[in-house]
């Protein structure tokens, strides 16, 4: 199962009510210097001021430095590019569906070979969009 981000919090180093609410239920403690220590599947992580704390649907909290957060979660980072790609696929899917409807709208006349070719090509395009990543067509 894939975990998704549910919320984020920029750690300031201050023990605020917002931080307490964000950390609720997450394994963590404060070290002798009062710094936040998160217990993650990768071990203990000492959060630093400015780092992004990321809560996932599986209730795990991970961290990211400002640089890593921007490159991963920012609009030009991996997550932003994924969103842009998903939007583009949705637009292609809608355009293909409109093309198929237009090709099949023959007012009761039999489909021409051209219409059948468009229908077949669009169906192949839609099937390709539905394939899981990495699968060959």
Confidence of residue 46 (pLDDT cuts 50, 70, 90): very high
Closest of 93, 76, 96 to residue 84, by C-alpha: 76
CB distance 37 to 89 below 8 Å: no
Q: Could you report the per-residue pLDDT of 84-110, keeping only the tens digit for each?
A: 888 888 888 888 888 877 777 767 777
Same domain, yes or no, for 23 and 9?
yes
Q: List the structure tokens of 37.
A: 């220590």
Q: For the chain, what is the mean pLDDT?
A: 84
43 has pLDDT over 80? yes
Residue 87 domain flag:
yes
Nearest residue to 102 (alpha-carbon basis) of 90, 117, 85, 119: 119
Token pair recorded at residue 22? 């964000």
Higher pLDDT: 10 or 102? It is 10
Tell whether 100 is covered by a domain: yes
Q: H helices then E strands: how many in the chain?
A: 4, 6
In a domain, 116, yes or no: yes
Q: How many domains does one find in the chain? A: 2
Q: Compute the distance between CA of residue 88 and CA of residue 103 in angstroms, rounded to an integer.
A: 22
Residue 137 inside a domain? The answer is: no
The per-residue pLDDT for 20 is 92
Are 54 and 86 within one domain?
no
Same domain, 13 and 56: yes
Q: Is residue 113 part of a domain?
A: yes
Asked whether residue 135 is domain-assigned, the answer is no
Whether residue 114 lies inside any domain: the answer is yes
Give mean pLDDT, residues 115-135. Answer: 81
pTM of the model: 0.60
Q: What is the structure's pLDDT at 112?
A: 81
Q: 89 and 39 share a domain?
A: no
Is residue 136 assigned to a domain? no
Both 99 and 61 in one domain: the answer is no
- H/E element, 55: strand 52-56
Task: Report the alpha-carbon distance of residue 72 to residue 64 in Å, rounded.
Answer: 9
Q: Quick one: 82 and 52 in the same domain?
A: no
95-102, long-range: CB within 8 Å, 24+ apart, which pairs? 96/122, 96/125, 96/126, 96/129, 97/122, 97/126
């Amino acid at each position: 199962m894939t975990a998704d981000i549910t919320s984020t919090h920029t750690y300031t180093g201050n023990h605020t009510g917002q931080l307490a609410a964000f950390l609720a239920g997450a394994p963590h403690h404060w070290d002798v210097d009062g710094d936040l220590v998160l217990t993650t599947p990768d071990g203990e992580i000492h959060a630093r001021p400015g780092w992004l704390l990321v809560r996932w649907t599986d209730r795990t909290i991970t961290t990211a430095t400002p640089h890593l957060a921007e490159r991963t979660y920012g609009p030009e980072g991996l997550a932003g590019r994924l969103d842009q790609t998903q939007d583009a696929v949705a637009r292609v899917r809608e355009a293909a569906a409109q093309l198929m409807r237009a090709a099949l709208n023959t007012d009761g006349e039999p489909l021409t070979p051209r219409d059948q070719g468009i229908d077949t090509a669009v169906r192949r395009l839609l099937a390709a969009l539905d394939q899981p990543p990495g699968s060959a067509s």
